[in-house]
Amino acid sequence: MNEPPETISEMDHDKVLEQASNWLKDGHKVALATVIETWGSAPRPVGSQLAIRDDATFTGSVSGGCIEGDVVTRALDKLDGGAAEVVEYGVSDAKAWEVGLACGGRIRIMIEPVEGNA
């Protein structure tokens, strides 16, 4: 069975690392974001991941869609040799409220570029 090449379906959400690895093999630059801690009613559990490609295509999720935009922007900034970074989002933080973690939870996310070639 042939996989549709550019379709990113719900099914792929637990194949985030595999997708990241394939993008790397195709010559793309890739970053990963991972939920490392949560407090309160966080939308996605610890360990949830998002893979971001250099053209801003992404797969997976680290929230219910609330903060992905900000995470993707930060990830893209790291693709040319940036370092890993831990970012905290929550209602107590005015900036985070702007990007919209409206569920009242708080989460810490690690964002890191993948270095080297596959």
Partner 1 sequence: MKAEILSELVRARAEKRPVVLATRLSNGFEKLVYQTDTQAEKWLVEAVSEVLRADKGRVQADPDGEDWFLNPFNPPLRLVILGAVHIAQPLSKMAELANYDVTVIDPRTAFASEERFPGVTLVTEWPDEAMEKIDLDTRTAVVTLTHDPKLDDPGLHAALKSPCFYIGALGSRKTHGTRVERLTEAGFSEDEIARIHGPVGLAIGARSPAEIAISIMAQMTERLRT
Burial annotation 28-52 (CB, 10 A radius, 16+ → b, else e): bbbbbbbbeebeeebbbeeebbbbb
Q: Which of 39, 69, 73, 84 binds partner 1 (CB under 8 A)?
A: 84
Interactions with partner 1, residue window 41-80 (CB under 8 A)? 45-47
Please state the closest distance from residue 51 (CB atom) to partner 1, in A: 10
Tokens of 54: 């250099």
Q: Using the minimum distance from each CB to partner 1, give the nearer residue, 44 or 70.
A: 44
User: How many amino acids of this chain bind partner 1 (CB under 8 A)?
Assistant: 28
CA separation (Å) from 84 to 1, 26, 45? 38, 23, 20
Please state, in angstroms and rounded to a whole number, the distance separating the CA atoms of residues 40 and 32: 24
Residues that bind partner 1 (CB under 8 A): 1, 10-11, 14, 17-18, 20-21, 24, 32, 34, 36-37, 45-47, 83-84, 86, 108, 110, 112-118
